Amino acid sequence: MTILETERLTRAYGGVIAVNKVDFQVEEGLITGLIGPNGAGKTTLFNNMTGLDTPTGGKVRFMGKEITGFPAHKICRLGIARTFQNIRLFKDLTVAENVMIGRHFKTGKDERKGRFLNALKSYIRMKEEENAIYDKALQWLDFFDMHSYRGELAKNLPYGKQRELEIARALATDPRLLFLDEPAAGMNPQETDHLIGIIRKIRELGITVVLIEHDMKLVMNICDSITVLNYGEKLAEGTPKEIKNNPLVIEAYLGRDE
């Protein structure tokens, strides 16, 4: 089943076309890779599918419903979460508090914020909700083997753990679809191997994953399907084996093994 798709999605900035009539499909339950040279339009496509930017043409559908132009908070509430190239943590809050923020957003009734950010009717109700959110945050930290870091400030975490914390916060919104924008950027080989295991565990939870990544070892080892962008257009799509052997992809991005 196709969980998300774009139809001729286009994003132009003045005379510059960053994404040009891209048809992109994500199948539920799979890990889909989005690769291509720097400037190919990968993050722009992500932004236009997750509400951080608005397409100038084309459509985006999630679970069969058109969501083109929806704001990010509304898309998140529908069941789509994401991380970013540059880590966006609340670095002066604790690890647990960062995950709680994602959970607060999910549990809120107001379309713009979680209940935690609104005035609640009673102190008791607030404490009950906060305790439940804290417990849920600890469950996600256990998933990432980060329970021992729960009281640490986010800024004091090792770099790889900061990357994982951002994923944990996204997962706290209970998404059906998770977008990861260069999750292995800056990681050493050991951290990358650990990340591969985490992404596989996420899929085992029934969460569909789409990732942008330049680490081809990671992409080829973990993805079920790969789409390649070049100069804002879709160059190819297929299995890792098909992409690895595609002459157009080799020429534009992968290069030839010596």
* pLDDT per residue as tens digits for the range 22-39: 999 999 999 999 999 999
Q: What pLDDT, in 10s, does the model give residues 85-113?
A: 888 899 999 999 999 988 776 655 544 44
Distance CA 44, CA 55 (A): 9
**What's the CATH code, domain 90-174?**
3.40.50.300
Pick the CATH number of 1-79+175-258 from 3.90.640.10, 3.40.50.300, 3.30.70.100, 3.60.70.12: 3.40.50.300
Q: Among 117-131, 146-160, 177-191, 216-230, whose mean pLDDT is lowest? A: 117-131
Cβ atoms of residues 117 and 185 within 8 Å: no
- Assigned token pair, 124: 């008791």
Bridging pattern class, strands 65-66 and 57-62: antiparallel
Q: Report domain extents, the chain.
A: 1-79+175-258, 90-174
Cβ atoms of residues 42 and 35 within 8 Å: yes
Distance CA 243, CA 85 (A): 24
Cut 0.85: pTM above it: yes
